[in-house]
């Protein structure tokens, strides 16, 4: 019976009291459902590995609690927590063959040979290595993807309550990563083990996780499904981290309970639904705000449009199969980055270097009070 995991105001300060103190986790509180595949996502150094190490008992907490079901596991030593972990560098034992690598956790637990054989075969089958096991080579004779599967099998074989995966796909090439992330999801769903999957790749997190948490500087910025985080990011940091987002500045002209009216540098007026104002600050006339638009919420036009638009010059046109992506340069007062605009199909008459209009989908674009920096 799998149980939920809960983090209650967890703080971790490395080297506390010294001038080298690092406050790696700051009041981290969230819960992971039983059987859930939960992703931790965030830039390097934000505290992802630290959360896993605290969960496994490899680091003690400075304050706060971690619960597995009703049980407070904060002070339980690592060997008494039934947790499987695949580390960031998933070191396999090079002197042991594949079978013994996977069997290791069972040997430590002193299971008899027959039981070891049964469990190893079962888990090897699950991770898709049955053919490799017939040869039973040393891990050095395996491809990256096969080594990865051995590392996962090794963590799963003793039926852990919780599985912790720290950037398990980091050493694989892009194509294999995409394949293996689907495999990890398949394996996790087959075993139903409460799992935390750490990555700094947002596409991977969105593809793999039932839900994800975005971390920054030891703080949980937002938790939700991929869909929630993509369509309703709570601040500009999350908006920028999850998927591509175009940002540009505007100035508030008026605001009521239905609309935020804002002007762009060239006087263009935008009327944005008030519900798209993401931060709970009351906007005041003259405030500088940040407008955020996904590539699919902008479009390219060669003619005057009834919707508001601004001038731009196409720099690059990329055919990406299902969409065409236009990179468009705009006035520096508007944005110092080129905008990315996705169209369902090629706009026939438009070539690179052409001057065009960028049209806003006012119902979809969002407004943030600040750029999300702290």
Ligand X SMILES: Nc1ncnc2c1ncn2[C@@H]1O[C@H](COP(=O)(O)OP(=O)(O)OP(=O)(O)O)[C@@H](O)[C@H]1O
Contact residues toward ligand X (CB under 6 A) are: 14-15, 22, 24, 42, 44-50, 200
Q: Name the residue nearer to ligand X (CB basis): 35 or 64.
A: 64
Tokens of 167: 């950037």
Question: Minimum distance between the CB of residue 15 and ligand X, rounded to whole angstroms?
Answer: 6
Q: Name the residue nearer to ligand X (CB basis): 218 or 372.
A: 218
Question: Minimum distance between the CB of residue 1 and ligand X, rounded to whole angstroms?
Answer: 30
Cα–Cα distance measured from residue 270 to residue 262, given in angstroms and rounded to the nearest whole number: 5
Q: Name the residue nearer to Mg ion (CB basis): 124 or 214.
A: 214
From the list Mg ion, ligand X, none, pick the one residue 195 interacts with, judged by a Cβ distance below 5 to 8 Å according to partner type: none
Angle, vertex CA 321, rays to CA 211 and CA 356, nearest 5: 100
- Using DSSP bridges, classify how beta strands 288-293 and 269-273 pair: parallel, antiparallel or unpaired: unpaired
Cα–Cα distance measured from residue 127 to residue 209, given in angstroms and rounded to the nearest whole number: 18
Give the Cβ contact number of residue 161 at 10 Å: 18
**DSSP assignment letter at 36:** -
Cα–Cα distance measured from residue 149 to residue 48, given in angstroms and rounded to the nearest whole number: 22
Question: Minimum distance between the CB of residue 43 and ligand X, rounded to whole angstroms?
Answer: 7
Tokens of 54: 């605290």
From the list Mg ion, ligand X, none, pick the one residue 154 interacts with, judged by a Cβ distance below 5 to 8 Å according to partner type: none
Q: Name the residue nearer to ligand X (CB basis): 16 or 115.
A: 16
* Footprint on residues 35-94 left by Mg ion (CB under 5 A): 49
Q: Do residues 276 and 366 lie in contact, with contact meaning Cβ atoms separated by under 8 Å? A: yes
User: Which residue's Cβ lies closest to Mg ion?
Assistant: 49
From the list Mg ion, ligand X, none, pick the one residue 312 interacts with, judged by a Cβ distance below 5 to 8 Å according to partner type: none
Q: Name the residue nearer to ligand X (CB basis): 40 or 157.
A: 40
From the list Mg ion, ligand X, none, pick the one residue 50 interacts with, judged by a Cβ distance below 5 to 8 Å according to partner type: ligand X
From the list ligand X, Mg ion, none, pick the one residue 128 interacts with, judged by a Cβ distance below 5 to 8 Å according to partner type: none
Question: Minimum distance between the CB of residue 334 and ligand X, rounded to whole angstroms?
Answer: 33
Residue written as tokens 């263009």? 268
Q: Name the residue nearer to ligand X (CB basis): 21 or 254.
A: 21
Cα–Cα distance measured from residue 29 to residue 8, given in angstroms and rounded to the nearest whole number: 5
Q: Do residues 360 and 335 lie in contact, with contact meaning Cβ atoms separated by under 8 Å? A: no
From the list Mg ion, ligand X, none, pick the one residue 306 interacts with, judged by a Cβ distance below 5 to 8 Å according to partner type: none
C-alpha closest to that of 231 among 353, 335, 98, 366: 366
From the list ligand X, Mg ion, none, pick the one residue 200 interacts with, judged by a Cβ distance below 5 to 8 Å according to partner type: ligand X
276 contributes a contact to Mg ion by CB under 5 A: no
Cα–Cα distance measured from residue 221 to residue 116, given in angstroms and rounded to the nearest whole number: 43
Number of residues that bind Mg ion (CB under 5 A): 1
Tokens of 162: 């919780």
Cα–Cα distance measured from residue 85 to residue 275, given in angstroms and rounded to the nearest whole number: 42
Question: Minimum distance between the CB of residue 249 and ligand X, rounded to whole angstroms?
Answer: 30
Q: Name the residue nearer to ligand X (CB basis): 47 or 160.
A: 47
Question: Minimum distance between the CB of residue 117 and ligand X, rounded to whole angstroms?
Answer: 36
Q: Name the residue nearer to Mg ion (CB basis): 208 or 330.
A: 208
Q: Do residues 359 and 300 lie in contact, with contact meaning Cβ atoms separated by under 8 Å? A: yes
Q: What does the CA dihedral 40, 43, 45, 50 come to, rounded to 10 degrees?
A: 0
Residues that bind Mg ion (CB under 5 A): 49
């Amino acid at each position: 019976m799998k149980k939920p995991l809960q983090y209650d105001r967890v703080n971790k300060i490395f080297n506390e009291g010294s001038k080298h103190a690092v406050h790696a986790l700051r009041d981290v509180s969230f819960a992971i459902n039983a059987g859930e595949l939960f992703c931790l996502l965030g830039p390097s150094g934000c505290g992802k590995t630290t959360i896993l190490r605290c969960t496994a008992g490899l680091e003690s907490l400075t304050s706060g609690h971690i619960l597995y079901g009703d049980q407070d596991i904060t002070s339980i030593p690592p060997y008494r927590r039934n947790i499987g972990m695949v580390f960031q560098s998933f070191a396999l034992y090079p002197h042991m063959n594949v079978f013994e690598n996977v069997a290791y956790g069972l040997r430590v637990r002193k299971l008899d040979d027959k039981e070891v054989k049964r469990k190893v075969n079962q888990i090897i089958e699950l991770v898709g290595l049955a053919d490799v096991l017939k040869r039973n080579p040393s891990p050095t004779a395996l491809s990256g993807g096969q080594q990865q599967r051995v590392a996962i099998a090794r963590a799963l074989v003793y039926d852990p309550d919780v599985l912790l995966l720290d950037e398990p796909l980091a050493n694989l090439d892009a194509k294999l990563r995409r394949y293996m992330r689907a495999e990890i999801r398949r394996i996790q769903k087959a075993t139903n083990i409460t799992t935390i999957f750490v990555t700094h790749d947002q596409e991977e997190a969105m593809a793999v996780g039932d839900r994800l948490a975005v971390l920054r500087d030891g703080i949980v910025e937002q938790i939700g499904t991929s869909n929630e985080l993509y369509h309703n990011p709570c601040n500009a940091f999350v908006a920028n981290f999850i998927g591509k987002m175009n940002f540009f500045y505007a100035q508030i002209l008026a605001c009521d309970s239905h609309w935020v009216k804002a002007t762009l540098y060239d006087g263009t007026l935008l009327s944005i639904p008030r519900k798209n104002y993401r931060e709970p600050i009351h906007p005041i006339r003259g405030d500088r705000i940040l407008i955020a638009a996904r590539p699919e919420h902008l479009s390219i036009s060669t003619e005057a449009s009834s919707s508001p638009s601004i001038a731009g010059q196409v720099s690059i046109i990329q055919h990406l199969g299902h969409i065409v992506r236009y990179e468009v340069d705009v006035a520096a007062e508007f944005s110092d980055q080129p905008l990315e605009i996705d169209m369902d199909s090629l706009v026939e008459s438009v070539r690179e270097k052409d001057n065009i209009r960028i049209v806003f989908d006012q119902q979809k674009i969002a407004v943030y009070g600040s750029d999300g920096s702290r």
